[in-house]
A and B are shown apart, each in its own frame.
Chain A
Amino acid sequence: MVLAMQGVSKAYQTAEGPLQVLQDIDLKLEAGRSLALTGESGSGKSTLLHLAAGLDGVDAGRIEIDGQDVTQLHDAERAALRRNVVGLVFQQFNLIPSLDVAANLAFHARLAGRHDPAWQTELTQRLGLADLGKRYPEQLSGGQQQRVAIGRTLAARPKLVLADEPTGNLDEATGDAVLDLMLSLVVETGAALLMVTHSQRLAERLDGRIHLRSGRIA
């Protein structure tokens, strides 16, 4: 089991008092499988993704990633987990603006100590980024930036890929192409994929799907 959540709850403090974002979430994801996470805006999708990545702590419940109980880990151990096990694809790409495309692609893999130049070259070609290695993020289109963000995550061969609306900024055709690529690469690398999406159409293409409503699995 790459990802397992049991009874996970999370609330945020707001000016109007505590806001319950997630309540009693149970979820399991195996290697080589993909799962879509859908729901209305404000239903807690992104929060669930962030908890799954060990980016934030839970109020209650337990999260296991690759057999490690994330809720019991210290800050540094969680950072190591993100470095070595998890790969994140953000909706806003979040590339490192000071590094060129090639360095961005290699960055996570090098941090994790798993940089494989041959694999990176293959990824670059399959993502259509071969000619863009020396460009900087600000010189790329939205679609190109998203492909770099996906490439950066997959180059590190993470066991768990967490993607937050990876095709949200792309047109339908480009979105489909990017998703095809992600799914095939996830299968090839034996990773598990948890993907937040608003699109029913895209969600149907994944192995499974859970729907969130007001912080609960519907």
Chain B
Amino acid sequence: MLTVALSALLSHWRRRPMQLAMLLLGLSLATALWSGVQAINAEARASYDRAAAMLGQDRLRQIVSDDGELIPQADFVALRRAGWLVSPVLEGQLRLGSVRLHVIGLDPVSLPAEAQQVNVSAGDDLLGFITPPGRMYVASATARQLAGQPTPPLEIGQGLPPGTGLVDIGIAQSLLDKKGLISRLIVDAHQPAGLAPIETIVPGLSVRAPDPQGDLVRLTDSFHLNLTAFGFLAFAVGLFIVYSAIGLAFEQRRATFRTLRSLGLSARALIGLLLAELLLLALIAGLCGVVLGYFVASFLLPDVAATLQGLYGATVPGALTLRPQWWATGLAIAVLGTLVSAAQSLWQVWTLPLLAPAQPRAWARASEAARRVQAVFALCLFAMALALAIWGNGLIAGFAVLAGLLLGAALLLPVIMTALLAFMQQLARGPLTQWFWADTRQQLPGLSLALMALLLALSANVGVGTMVASFRLTFTGWLDQRLAAELYVTARNEGEATALRTWLAPRVDATLPIWSVEGTVAGGPAQVFGVADDRTYRDNWPLLQSVPGVWDKVAGGDAVLVNEQMARREKLQLGEPLILPGGWKTTIVGVYSDYGNPIGQVIVGIDALTSHYPDVSRLRYGLRLDPARTTALIDALQAQFHLPSQNVVDQASIKAKSLEIFEKTFAVTGALNVLTLGVAAVAMFASLMTLSGMRLSQIAPVWAMGLTRRHLVVLEVARTMVLATVTLLAAIPVGIGLAWVLLAIVNVEAFGWRLPMHLFPSDWLRLAVFALAAALLSALIPLRRLASLSPSDLLSVFANER
């Protein structure tokens, strides 16, 4: 019985291969985009985990100083003497030309086995590692970047994150110029019994629990959340196709269901068979989707890796690793998506009255009441979004605002369209135009899901496009302000830096030090930069808020500027006190924009910086000079000091590099945007194909009353264009709203900065051309089918016999 029933159910797909193809395509695309994004996230997270596991930070406790300062080496000696099994680590950033190297110094003798990153102590190697010049273990990619730089001899260390150099702690102290200092102490998991508490041995130190996440996870969380949100949007758009295809297939088989039920198949058995059928389809489409997702992820990953490196300094490999859990989650999401899409149809089958009269296309007829409910629900979502925009906090609230706005708009679209089409029908005078509007209105329920998908995709396009273009405009202007110096020079050591300053003095208009220290400010990691009292800053620095005479106050030494993200995160106001590393008390006199920087930054007068941090590295300088003389000066610098080319960089190169990183940052967003639009076009195509099969009974009478097939095709084209245009027009305000939420809420929560919004109507025009072309393209096959209908096809509507 069950086999016979199943074969009767499956025969539907044999007779309608196109419908089956649409269902599988929709589900595959939805799964592909979702699992592609998840693959990228998984790859990045695996990389962060590797970074977090560096020296066992994810498993071993650490001892750090309470004030965030470096720890004197004597404290380590005191703890060892007291019996504590601890091992010292010194970390710092070393700038070598254009490479920023994260140097980690460790003591191979006391390092716990769990923290061994590379085996440096095997055999005779130990001596070579700890004796100057020592050896530096780096990833192979980093070794290539460091070629020609003044580093200890390089060795390739497997499993080391790129951009990291592992050396003996003594070598690190000399490289980082931190003699007798350490950053933290690793605590061995197995300690002798009866030890005195650490606080009593060395006050001012405390034990920190293992950190399984690491800073990168926290820093990049918002980026991955953004990516996930986009993947989810694409998945939702894909599910519109699935929902539509399943709904139609169920409706078309309503008579079959009724027959099977009346022949003795229980409702439970019927639902079971339908679930089995759906599961089979979901698994086939899921497999295709996961394979497709792998290609999507491989295509997008290099750009994501570049973005993460550019924005956060996080290193993610550009190649994808296949993970079993990714296959499993891909298939699971395909099954889940299918079940969600089919839930309503399954419920209808479950509650199907055995003797109810057949109601063809009941699924497509939205009643007044249903539309009213939809409108009320949409308004509730808008209200929720508004309330969250005003009172909400955090990134999740930001995304909830986005979801409310998009979903509300999508639900409202068919309601608005119905009203608009009814109005147009009233305005129409001729019988054909009247029929055109009335018929379009009648098609709306069957097309509304596809149109909602199109609205989501177009709104996302307008919104994200506006956000990116606004960002680009602001960022370019900001770069012009921030990168005012014509040339940037980095010396290889302090001696060379002194010689450089002396040599440069008569040759340039100004030598602007770019010196900084890193430490903890207002509870978070921050850089403290010193700036010279120079017109360059007074004329160019992009201040968002400031007190009168701000630069005089900064030059005076006790007033500072903070970047926007620090000010927002810590809710810092002008005039408020701020404590810098080492307990230096200052006052905030200005806030400046600092796009692309994930951490806090403070600007102080250069003299104050050197007096509070006399050990500050003095290697980098910005040079002001006549731009026409830049090339000559670069040549002279290299002739005099033999600096590697990456140690002398002109303004244009840095700008080009920054803009390249910027473009890569949004390349992924752009690609996902295009893919989502593609999925929406498929949704439109699927709906038009589906409807074209059901249109015959509606257009045949009009044809019989004297319209040619050409007339009908022209009217169908016009209908598609009208619906796509109205959707496009609706997408523009929704997209602008989306851009506002992204710029004013999500960006602020995710990155800590707010950007002004700029509108780019020419971009909308371009999108309109693409969208209408896509709509026309999606209508081509159904239209061709209509144009090639033979009279006998049309006549089949009128006659039951010949």
Q: Who on chain B is nearest to A153 by CB? A: B705
Residues of B within 8 A of A75 (CB): 708-710
Tier of interface size on chain B: 20 to 34
Chain B nearest Cβ from A153, distance in angstroms: 9
Q: Are B697 and A94 in contact, CB atoms less than 8 angstroms apart? A: yes
B184 within 8 Å of A (CB atoms)? no
Chain B residues numbered 776-802 whose CB sits less than 8 Å from any CB in chain A: 791-792, 794-795, 797-802
Q: Who on chain A is nearest to B430 by CB? A: A110
Q: Who on chain A is nearest to B704 by CB? A: A88
A121 within 8 Å of B (CB atoms)? no
Q: A96-B435, A98-B438, A111-B431 are in contact. Are A91 and B705 (CB under 8 A)?
A: no
Chain B nearest Cβ from A218, distance in angstroms: 17
Q: Are A98 and B439 in contact, CB atoms less than 8 angstroms apart? A: yes
B586 within 8 Å of A (CB atoms)? no
A177 within 8 Å of B (CB atoms)? no
Q: A106-B431, A110-B430 are in contact. Are A55 and B708 (CB under 8 A)?
A: no
A199 within 8 Å of B (CB atoms)? no
B432 within 8 Å of A (CB atoms)? yes
Q: Who on chain B is nearest to A13 by CB? A: B792
B706 within 8 Å of A (CB atoms)? yes
B434 within 8 Å of A (CB atoms)? yes
Residues of B within 8 A of A46 (CB): 798-802
Residues of B within 8 A of A107 (CB): 431, 435, 705
Q: Who on chain A is nearest to B431 by CB? A: A110
Residues of A within 8 A of B710 (CB): 75-76
How far, in angstroms, from A56 to B708 measured CA to CA in the complex?
Answer: 12
A44 within 8 Å of B (CB atoms)? yes
Residues of A within 8 A of B432 (CB): 111
Chain B residues numbered 546-577 whose CB sits less than 8 Å from any CB in chain A: none
Chain A residues numbered 28-87 whose CB sits less than 8 Å from any CB in chain B: 41-42, 44-47, 50, 53, 55-57, 75-76, 79-84
How far, in angstroms, from A84 to B707 measured CA to CA in the complex?
Answer: 11
Most B Cβ at <10 Å: residue of A88, A92, A98: A98
How far, in angstroms, from A91 to B794 measured CA to CA in the complex?
Answer: 15
Residues of B within 8 A of A57 (CB): 791
How far, in angstroms, from A103 to B799 measured CA to CA in the complex?
Answer: 24
Q: Who on chain B is nearest to A84 by CB? A: B706
A129 within 8 Å of B (CB atoms)? no
Q: Are A92 and B698 in contact, CB atoms less than 8 angstroms apart? A: no
A99 within 8 Å of B (CB atoms)? yes
How far, in angstroms, from A172 to B702 measured CA to CA in the complex?
Answer: 29
Most A Cβ at <10 Å: residue of B441, B697, B701: B701
Q: Are B704 and A53 in contact, CB atoms less than 8 angstroms apart? A: yes
Q: Are A94 and B794 in contact, CB atoms less than 8 angstroms apart? A: no
How far, in angstroms, from A57 to B791 measured CA to CA in the complex?
Answer: 8
Q: Are A164 and B798 in contact, CB atoms less than 8 angstroms apart? A: yes
B474 within 8 Å of A (CB atoms)? no
A95 within 8 Å of B (CB atoms)? yes
B700 within 8 Å of A (CB atoms)? yes
Residues of B within 8 A of A103 (CB): 431, 434-435, 438
Chain B residues numbered 380-411 whose CB sits less than 8 Å from any CB in chain A: none
Q: Are A98 and B704 in contact, CB atoms less than 8 angstroms apart? A: no
Q: Are B704 and A94 in contact, CB atoms less than 8 angstroms apart? A: yes
How far, in angstroms, from A199 to B96 measured CA to CA in the complex?
Answer: 101
Chain A nearest Cβ from B440, distance in angstroms: 8
Q: Are B442 and A97 in contact, CB atoms less than 8 angstroms apart? A: yes
Q: Who on chain A is nearest to B442 by CB? A: A98
Looking at the complex, which one of A50, A76, A110 makes contact with B799 (CB distance below 8 Å)? A50
Q: Are A55 and B706 in contact, CB atoms less than 8 angstroms apart? A: no
Residues of B within 8 A of A147 (CB): none
How far, in angstroms, from A41 to B801 measured CA to CA in the complex?
Answer: 7
Residues of A within 8 A of B799 (CB): 46-47, 50, 91, 164
Q: Who on chain B is nearest to A152 by CB? A: B705
A170 within 8 Å of B (CB atoms)? no
Chain B residues numbered 709-756 whose CB sits less than 8 Å from any CB in chain A: 709-711
Q: Who on chain A is nearest to B707 by CB? A: A79
Chain A residues numbered 106-138 whose CB sits less than 8 Å from any CB in chain B: 106-108, 110-112
Q: Who on chain B is nearest to A83 by CB? A: B706
Q: Who on chain B is nearest to A44 by CB? A: B802
Cβ proximity bits B565-598 to A, threshold 8 Å, 1 near / 0 not: 0000000000000000000000000000000000
Q: Are A94 and B791 in contact, CB atoms less than 8 angstroms apart? A: no
How far, in angstroms, from A46 to B791 measured CA to CA in the complex?
Answer: 13
Residues of A within 8 A of B802 (CB): 12, 21, 42, 44, 46-47
Q: Who on chain B is nearest to A103 by CB? A: B434
Q: Are A99 and B434 in contact, CB atoms less than 8 angstroms apart? A: yes
Q: Are B801 and A98 in contact, CB atoms less than 8 angstroms apart? A: no
Chain B residues numbered 503-543 whose CB sits less than 8 Å from any CB in chain A: none
Q: Are A94 and B438 in contact, CB atoms less than 8 angstroms apart? A: no
Chain B residues numbered 406-464 whose CB sits less than 8 Å from any CB in chain A: 430-432, 434-435, 438-439, 441-442
Residues of A within 8 A of B697 (CB): 94
Most A Cβ at <10 Å: residue of B431, B707, B800: B431
How far, in angstroms, from A90 to B701 measured CA to CA in the complex?
Answer: 9
Chain A nearest Cβ from B673, distance in angstroms: 36
Residues of A within 8 A of B795 (CB): 50, 55-56
Residues of A within 8 A of B709 (CB): 75
How far, in angstroms, from A205 to B22 measured CA to CA in the complex?
Answer: 53
How far, in angstroms, from A95 to B700 measured CA to CA in the complex?
Answer: 10
Residues of A within 8 A of B800 (CB): 46, 91-92
Chain A nearest Cβ from B706, distance in angstroms: 3
Chain B nearest Cβ from A46, distance in angstroms: 4
Residues of B within 8 A of A56 (CB): 791-792, 795
Chain B nearest Cβ from A103, distance in angstroms: 6
Residues of B within 8 A of A112 (CB): 706
Residues of A within 8 A of B707 (CB): 79, 83, 111
Residues of A within 8 A of B698 (CB): 96-98
Residues of B within 8 A of A106 (CB): 431
Q: Are A82 and B704 in contact, CB atoms less than 8 angstroms apart? A: yes
Q: Who on chain B is nearest to A99 by CB? A: B438
How far, in angstroms, from A44 to B442 measured CA to CA in the complex?
Answer: 34
How far, in angstroms, from A75 to B711 measured CA to CA in the complex?
Answer: 11
Chain B residues numbered 321-343 whose CB sits less than 8 Å from any CB in chain A: none
Chain B nearest Cβ from A78, distance in angstroms: 8
Looking at the complex, which one of A55, A76, A80 makes contact with B704 (CB distance below 8 Å)? A55
Looking at the complex, which one of A12, A83, A94 makes contact with B797 (CB distance below 8 Å)? A94
Q: Are B705 and A83 in contact, CB atoms less than 8 angstroms apart? A: yes
Cβ proximity bits A2-17 to B, threshold 8 Å, 1 near / 0 not: 0000000000100000
Q: Are B706 and A94 in contact, CB atoms less than 8 angstroms apart? A: no
Q: A47-B802, A99-B434, A164-B798 are in contact. Are A111 and B706 (CB under 8 A)?
A: yes
Q: Are B442 and A79 in contact, CB atoms less than 8 angstroms apart? A: no
Chain A nearest Cβ from B531, distance in angstroms: 71
Known: A98-B439, A111-B707. 18 other contacts (CB 8 A): A53-B704, A75-B709, A76-B708, A79-B706, A83-B705, A88-B705, A90-B704, A91-B798, A92-B798, A94-B697, A96-B435, A96-B439, A96-B701, A97-B442, A97-B698, A103-B431, A107-B435, A111-B431
Instruction: Give me 17 A-to-B residue pairs in the complex whose CB atoms sit less than 8 angstroms apart, sorted by A's number.
Output: A76-B708, A79-B707, A82-B704, A82-B705, A83-B705, A88-B705, A90-B704, A96-B439, A97-B442, A98-B439, A99-B434, A103-B431, A107-B435, A108-B706, A110-B431, A111-B431, A164-B799
Instruction: In the A-B complex, list the 9 residue pairs whose CB atoms are closest, starting with the nearest.
Output: A83-B706, A110-B431, A98-B438, A98-B442, A46-B799, A94-B701, A82-B706, A56-B791, A79-B708
Which residues does B use to contact A, with CB under 8 Å? 430-432, 434-435, 438-439, 441-442, 697-698, 700-711, 791-792, 794-795, 797-802
Which residues does A use to contact B, with CB under 8 Å? 12, 21, 41-42, 44-47, 50, 53, 55-57, 75-76, 79-84, 88, 90-92, 94-99, 103, 106-108, 110-112, 164
